[in-house]
């Protein structure tokens, strides 16, 4: 193994991963993709933030870079021609990939792998070809979903003091997320999970699952087959689609008297205490574990968890992630089966059974849905999947035992959202609410809202507002 001064366990773990990946030890030879998405909100906001920071560092030999989640350099700003020429010789330039897999331990690769700020100085780089630089980087997370989007990287000469490089990178990453939120229709920020990061279900449960479609049961059967053979299994799919629930149901059927412990990834700063908190449960009889959203784990934590599972787990280990490629490699190597659960929009036959099930749980008694409400629920595209259906049904069932369209929020009564201004969103919601009233016609709604028939029809088309069972009077 290429030796160097490994000051921290985090750097040591990164060097071990670099060796496993077969990263070059002497000459930098990254992959060139050439493709840079300059139309994304992430690129637009990140470039604006870095341009402002660059303007304040005009006299400093510092290069500012934006990368995607795979380490591809999207943009580079640097006013020092000597540093630019040197970076070009090492291919640290737009279009080239600088993940750990490509070039070994480096600042941006480590920040992306561990989802937390990183500083890699001179000879801490795995590849000797990068030891002339000091690199500080911070990950950029989507302000709503908390999905990893990329990183902000600051690179300077290794003999210079790193000073405030990490603080500047972290500030720029935070400003990029904040700017994305401000331009994203004012969506509420989803807090990073901290503190309690697991849930425990005791079995058996009296809450029988609803009768769902063949696509759901095909996924359930595949998971159950893996559990019956004692094989670790993963379920992947979009956020909120019900991956952990699917695994919990399969585990209950296989091990009806087990506790089922489900985890969620913590803030990367809390990962060590998070592992210490629950990982001892892996070796206990009558305890099944669902490690949820493992694609959100720092690389070192995923490797540590994989080692604990390999050392001995009383039950088949199960995980969830957004897709198979996102499962950290140490955990992916343990899995014998990965099952994909389709999004709710591809399972329209599941919407009503799930809605009735969720409403009964919320209300404490059966709740019915009118034909108009059923149609509205079935045709809606459910971008946040079952989690969104749960929120909608809980609110509607809290208002009536018979849910009609007037009990549903405007988001469900409208089609896929355009990029609307706040005024347009208010107008859309008001039209949708008016049309949801019992016996309402388009002509009457236009009169109530002070619009002409032509105007309201045009706005209904513009906002994709369905009008089930209604027509002009």
Q: Which two tokens stand for residue 99?
A: 């993940």
> 450 in the Ramachandran plot: left (φ > 0), alpha (ψ -120 to 50) or beta?
left
DSSP H or E stretch at residue 315: none
Query: What span, in angstroms and rounded, lies between the C-alpha atoms of 120 and 135?
Result: 5
Do 293 and 109 form a contact (C-beta atoms < 8 A)? no
Q: Where are the domains of the chain?
A: 9-183, 198-342, 346-462
Q: Which CATH number, 3.40.50.720, 3.40.630.30, 3.30.450.40, 3.40.50.620, labels domain 9-183?
A: 3.30.450.40
Query: Among 47, 149, 153, 76, which Cα is nearest to 109's?
Result: 153
The correct answer on CATH 3.40.50.1100 for the domain covering 346-462 is: no
Rg (CA), the chain: 26
Do domains 198-342 and 346-462 share one topology? The answer is no
Cβ atoms < 10 Å from Cβ of 158: 18
| Stretch 205-229: mean pLDDT | 85
CATH architecture of the region 198-342:
3-Layer(aba) Sandwich (3.40)
- Angle at the Cα of 175 from the Cα atoms of 82 and 111, rounded to 5 degrees: 65
- Which is higher by pLDDT, 191 or 176? 176
Report the alpha-carbon distance of residue 470 to residue 473 in Å, rounded.
9
Element (H, E) at 338: strand 337-340
Give residue 363's Cα distance to chain centre: 30
Measure CA 289 to chain center: 21
pLDDT at 345 over 70: yes
* pLDDT tens-digit series, residues 441-467: 888 888 888 888 888 888 888 777 767
Q: Which pLDDT tens digit goes with each residue over 400-446?
A: 999 998 898 877 876 554 456 667 767 777 888 788 777 788 888 88
Distance of CA 222 to the CA centre of its chain: 25
* Separation of alpha carbons 434 and 432, rounded Å: 5
The confidence band for 3, taking pLDDT boundaries of 50, 70 and 90, is very low
Burial 346-359 (b: 16+ CB within 10 A, else e): ebeebbeebbbbbb
- Percent with pLDDT over 90 in the chain: 52
């Amino acid at each position: 193994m290429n030796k160097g001064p490994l000051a921290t366990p985090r750097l040591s773990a990164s060097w071990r991963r670099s060796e496993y990946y077969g990263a070059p030890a002497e000459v930098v030879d990254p992959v060139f993709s050439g493709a840079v998405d300059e139309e994304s909100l992430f690129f637009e906001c990140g470039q604006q933030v870095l341009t402002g920071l660059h303007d304040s560092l005009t006299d400093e030999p510092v290069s500012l870079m934006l990368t995607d989640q795979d380490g591809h350099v999207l943009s580079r700003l640097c006013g020092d021609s000597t540093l630019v020429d040197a970076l070009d010789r090492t291919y640290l330039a737009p279009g080239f990939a600088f993940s750990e897999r490509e070039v070994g331990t480096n600042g941006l690769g480590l920040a992306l792998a561990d989802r937390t700020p990183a500083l890699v100085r001179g000879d801490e780089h795995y590849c000797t070809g990068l030891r002339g630089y000091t690199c500080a980087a911070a990950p950029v997370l989507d302000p709503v979903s908390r999905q990893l989007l990329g990183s902000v990287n600051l690179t300077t000469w290794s003999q210079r003091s790193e000073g405030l490089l990490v603080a500047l990178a972290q500030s720029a990453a935070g400003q990029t997320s904040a700017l994305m939120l401000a331009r994203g229709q004012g969506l509420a920020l989803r807090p990073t999970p901290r503190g309690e990061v697991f849930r425990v279900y005791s079995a058996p449960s009296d809450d029988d699952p609803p009768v769902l479609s063949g696509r759901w049961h095909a996924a359930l059967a595949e998971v159950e087959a893996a559990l019956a053979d004692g094989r670790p299994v993963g379920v992947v799919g979009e956020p909120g689609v019900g991956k952990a629930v699917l695994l919990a149901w399969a585990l209950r059927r296989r091990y009806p008297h087990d506790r089922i412990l489900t985890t969620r990834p913590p803030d990367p700063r809390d990962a060590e205490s998070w592992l210490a908190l629950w990982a001892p449960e892996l070796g206990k009889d009558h305890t099944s574990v669902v490690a949820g959203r493992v694609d959100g784990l720092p690389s070192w934590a995923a490797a540590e968890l994989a080692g604990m599972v390999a050392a001995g787990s009383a039950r088949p280990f199960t995980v969830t992630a957004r897709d198979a490629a996102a499962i950290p490699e140490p955990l992916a190597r343990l899995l014998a089966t990965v099952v994909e659960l389709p999004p709710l929009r591809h399972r329209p036959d599941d919407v009503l059974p799930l809605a009735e099930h969720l409403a009964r749980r919320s209300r404490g008694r059966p709740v019915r849905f009118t034909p108009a409400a059923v149609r509205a629920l079935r045709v809606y595209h459910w971008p946040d999947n079952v989690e969104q259906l749960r929120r909608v049904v809980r609110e509607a069932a809290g208002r009536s035992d018979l849910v009609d369209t007037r009990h549903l929020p405007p988001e469900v009564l409208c089609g896929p959202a355009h990029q609307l201004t706040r005024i347009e969103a208010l107008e859309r919601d008001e039209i949708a609410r008016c049309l949801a009233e019992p016996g309402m016609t388009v002509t009457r709604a236009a009169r109530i809202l002070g619009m002409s028939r032509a105007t309201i029809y045009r706005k209904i088309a513009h906002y994709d507002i369905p009008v089930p069972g209604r027509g002009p009077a």
